[in-house]
Structure 1
Amino acid sequence: MPEGHSVHRIARQFDRNVVGHRVAASSPQGRFAEGAAVIDGRTATQVRAVGKQMFLEFDDDIWLRVHLGMYGAWDFAGEIIVDPTIASANGRMGQTNQRGTDLPPVFDAAGENSLTSIGAPRKARGHVRMSEQTRGLADDGEQWPPPIVGQVRLRLLTEATSADLRGPTACQLQTPEEMAATVASLGPDPLVDDAAAGEERFAAVVRRKPTPIGLLLMDQSVVSGIGNVYRAELLFRARLDPHTPGRDVPDEVVRGIWRDWVRLLAIGVETGQMMTMDDLDPDAYRRAMASRDDRHWVYHRAGLPCRVCGTAIVLEEMAARKLYWCPNCQR
């Protein structure tokens, strides 16, 4: 499932390529035909990302809400204006000693330059998929509009750019009131909410809940944007047992998790990768950008030795989702 950094990056692509343009909307699959007819011919006026959900506004206060869920993705084609900076909503980008912006390109298994994620600033004729695993640009020929491939729930077409939505959990139109209610139901997002106010909201909810912290971090009404990868990594970085009831987690640890999420989310938006390891030398950083296996402390490392203590990483199910953790470091 796309986590918060991916959705913020997708929103930024919409801001550069779709907002301010008149859009032809259609539902090739047919499942969103009525909604597409409503926004067809309207101009996209703004886009917002909150946690794992994106909201695209059109003329006359019509909002399109999209939640990609487990399998959703956006495919962009045509003249794609790519943003190399992906600045955060509040103008601040998380600083880390392994940003590597002066290093040569590092290509992952999908052919993506991980240090800039989806390329340098340019108008590129091509195709890019944006989901949890963003793919690099590829030649799609000269046909315009591009052919419909597979089950496309919604196509948004400007004069130069096409955005195809596939497999979302939610794709619906909302009034401003409905959109505001949806956002209000979500927990704080570091790239949307004031960081200090978000910390207070997060800490207040966690400290009164008997629910295990490993479940609370995945609850989008508690905090927005955290999925399986960031949940496992945040808990390891805090050296916290995932089964600890929220109300039993010391206040300073709860606040530390929030501040760590602020930092990791900013890095994820900037690099396009869920980089959760610190203090890597340049060679190790390049490996981490090129391969997920070198990017995380515990995620996807079941049975492998903990990078800190050597204990085998445990894999278990928590609320039907995979949870990775070290039973020694996180006790």
Structure 2
Amino acid sequence: MPEGHTLHRLARAHQRSFAGGVVRVSSPQGRFAEGAALVDGRVLVRSEAWGKHLLHHYESGLVVHVHLGLYGMFTESAGPPAEPVGQVRMRMIGSGKAGPLCGTDLRGPTACEVLHEPEVAGLTARLGPDPLRRDADPERAWQRIHRSARAIGALLMDQSIIAGVGNVYRAEVLFRHDISPHRQGKSLSRTEWDALWLDLVELMKVGVRRGVMHVVRPEHDHGAPSYTADRPRTYVYRRAGEPCRLCGATVVHAVMASRNLFWCPACQPH
């Protein structure tokens, strides 16, 4: 599932391509036809992301809400897109602020729906602070974490506590701070939490700028290759059974709250 930086990159791209201009919205596959008709021909005021949610705000006050889920993706095109290929849930064509004509197709999302502003407010109220948003308040997350007996590895993945963090950022930020994913939230000190939050902010900003997650510090970015050819190296994510890049201990794997978990038992003792 795409992590928060991917949604923020999409929001920025759609802001540049469509905001300030009339957008033609359609649903070639038909599943979003009624929603598309409500916003078709309207001016897109702004595009924003909150965690793993993408929000397109139209001048009518209606908002298109997209959650990509496991399989959703946008494909962009310069100029009018060609005939739809595959199951295109939503197609957008426009030229924000008299720029060049652009198009984008959305396929396979978990959610693609039209909401009213009160519904959007309800959605965002259920989400925790997003490290990539300027209005994020890390204190909200801390107040829940330092009272919780749940494992910090589970708390970081709870979108109602922190919005946008996924499996990779969870595994890597805990390794970078020598924190076992099995420690209870209430065992963390305020100093540890503040350091975790600031690191998440910086790592996710890098993800927005570069389009991929760079989590290994430059002095450690050597040796064994990444878990896949088109991704930068990680410390522990998807490296179960391999030696830790720092201490040589074997990286281990478990399942926590139905998600794969990776850590170094030597660098991150419980």
TM score, norm. by length of structure 1:
0.75
Kept after mapping to 2: 8 A contact 1:202/1:258: no
C-alpha displacement of 1:293: 6.0
Q: Hey, what's the Cα distance between the residues in 1 that align with 2:103 and 2:134?
A: 30
Q: 1:294 to 1:63 in 2, by over 3 A?
A: closer
Q: State the Cα deviation string for residues 147-173 of structure 1 (Å, max 9, x = none).
A: 101111111112521111111111111
TM-score (norm 2): 0.91
CA contact (8 A) 1:274 1:295 kept: no
Q: What is the distance in 1 between the residues matched to 2:182 and 2:14? A: 39
- In the alignment, what sits opposite 1:182? 123
Query: Hey, what does 1:265 align to over in structure 2?
Result: 204
Question: For 1:217-241, what per-residue CA distance to the aligned partner results, in whole angstroms no more than 9, with x for missing partners?
Answer: 0011101110010000011111111
2:24 alignment counterpart: 24
SS at match of 1:147: coil
- SS across alignment from 2:22: coil
User: Does the C-alpha gap of structure 1 residues 174 and 316 become closer, same or farther in structure 2, counting only changes over 3 Å?
Assistant: same
Structure 2 equivalent of residue 169 of structure 1: 110
**Aligned residue number for residue 33 of structure 2:** 33
Cα drift, residue 58 of structure 1: 1.0
Note closer, same or farther for the CA distance 1:171–1:9 as it changes in structure 2 (3 Å cut): same
Supply the distance in 2 between the matched residues of 1:174 and 1:199 (Cα, whole angstroms). Answer: 27
In 1: Cα distance, 2:43 partner to 2:15 partner: 12
- Identity percentage of aligned residues: 45
Determine helix, strand or coil for the equivalent of 1:165: strand
Contact 2:175–2:264 (CA under 8 A) maintained in structure 1: yes
- Matching residue's letter, 1:265: M
8 A contact 1:24–1:41 mirrored in 2: yes
Work out whether 1:305 is the aligned partner of 2:243.
yes
Contact 2:147 2:186 in 1 (8 A): yes
Structure 2 equivalent of residue 148 of structure 1: 84
The answer to whether the aligner puts 1:226 opposite 2:165 as a matched pair is yes
| Partner residue in 2 for 1:201 | 140
Q: Structure 1 residue runs of 4+, over 6 Å off?
A: none
The aligned residue for residue 73 of structure 2 is 73
Partner of 1:23, secondary structure, is strand
Q: Tell which deviates more after alignment, 164-173 or 291-300.
A: 291-300
Unaligned runs of 5+ in 1: 80-143
Computed over aligned residues only, the root mean square deviation of the Cα atoms, in angstroms, reads: 2.0
C-alpha separation between the residues in 2 aligned to 1:208 and 1:16? 41
> Structure with the greater relative contact order (CA < 8 A, sep ≥ 6): 1 or 2?
1
Structure 2 unmatched ranges of 5 or more? 96-100
Code of the aligned partner of 1:147:
E
Residue 135 of structure 1 is matched in structure 2 by none
Do 1:44 and 1:57's aligned partners in 2 also have CA atoms closer than 8 Å? yes
Q: Offset of 1:292 from its aligned partner?
A: 5.6
In 1, Cα distance between equivalents of 2:135 and 2:86 = 40
Return the offset for 1:193: 3.8
Following the alignment from structure 1 to structure 2, what is the Cα–Cα distance between the partners of residues 28 and 252? 51
Q: Tell me whether 207-216 or 243-252 shows the greater mean CA deviation.
A: 243-252
